[in-house]
């Protein structure tokens, strides 16, 4: 699935690897409750990790997900940090950009995340040319690709089948 939108001009990159946007939810926060209980709690929706190197885009994505009553379990800006965070938090869904801070791009990070955690991957990117789409299909098969800027409807269309399939 590719949402067709005009690409947004991107500003300077900001390191957000140290940020955790939003507060802690005692029912869903893995450090306070064993991961298996947190993920299966009826009060908690699917856990979503945002991997985005632009601060304002990350905040926009987080706002959309929270409007949809979805649980944002973390936000990171680098590929390796995303792999590490996904291994620790076990998200159900990872929204990931292709161009990230650090040496690992989003496609490689997504491939590794899927391999270690089985998380569903949704790419959110301004770079969706034919070569990039072929690489995504080869390395992260069947992952939806949303073109920036994304709307609430775009994100819901990509995540709804995952949410519905998980019984939420």
- Give the 3-state secondary structure of 45-107: CCEEEEECCCHHHHHHHHHHHHHCCCEEEEEECEHHHHHHHHHHHCCCEEEECCCCECCCCHH
Say yes or no to pLDDT of 120 above 80.
yes
**pTM, 2 dp:** 0.74
Residue 97 pLDDT: 98
Query: Can you say how many angstroms the Cα of residue 161 is from the centroid of all Cα atoms in its chain?
Result: 15
Residue 65 CB-half CA count within 13 A: 26
Using omega within 30 degrees of 0 as the cis cutoff, is the peptide bond preceding 149 cis?
yes
Structural domains of the chain, ranges and CATH numbers in brackets: 14-23+43-165 (3.40.50.2300)
Q: Is the pLDDT of residue 116 over 60?
A: yes
Buried b / exposed e along 99-121 (16+ C-beta atoms within 10 A): bbbbebbbbbbbbbbbeebebbb
Contact indicator for 56, 19 with CB cutoff of 8 Å: no
Q: pLDDT tens for residues 70-114?
A: 999 999 999 999 999 999 999 999 999 999 999 999 999 999 999
Give pLDDT tens digits for 136-160.
Answer: 999 999 999 999 999 999 999 999 9
What does the pLDDT look like over 42-53, one tens digit per residue?
345 789 999 999
Lowest mean pLDDT among 12-16, 62-66, 111-115: 12-16
Does the structure show a pLDDT above 80 at 31?
A: no
Q: Average pLDDT of the chain?
A: 79
More confident residue, 16 or 105: 105
Please report the pLDDT score of residue 165 as a whole number: 72
Q: How many CB atoms lie within 10 A of CB 149?
A: 15
What the block records as the tokens of 41 is: 């709690």
């Amino acid at each position: 699935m590719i949402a067709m939108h005009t690409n947004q001009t991107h500003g300077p990159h900001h390191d957000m690897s140290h940020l955790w946007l939003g507060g802690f939810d005692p029912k869903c926060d893995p450090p306070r409750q064993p991961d298996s209980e947190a993920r299966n709690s009826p009060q908690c929706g699917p856990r979503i990790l945002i991997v985005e190197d632009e601060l304002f885009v990350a905040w926009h994505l987080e706002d959309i997900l929270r409007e949809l009553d979805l649980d944002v379990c973390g936000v990171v800006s680098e590929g390796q940090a995303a792999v590490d965070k996904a291994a620790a938090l076990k998200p159900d869904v990872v929204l990931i950009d292709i161009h990230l801070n650090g040496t690992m791009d989003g496609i490689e990070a997504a491939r590794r995340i899927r391999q270690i955690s089985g998380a569903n991957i949704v790419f959110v990117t301004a770079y969706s040319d034919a070569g990039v789409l072929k690489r995504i299909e080869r390395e992260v098969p069947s992952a939806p690709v949303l073109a920036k800027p994304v709307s609430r409807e775009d994100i819901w269309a990509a995540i709804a089948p995952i949410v519905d399939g998980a019984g939420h």
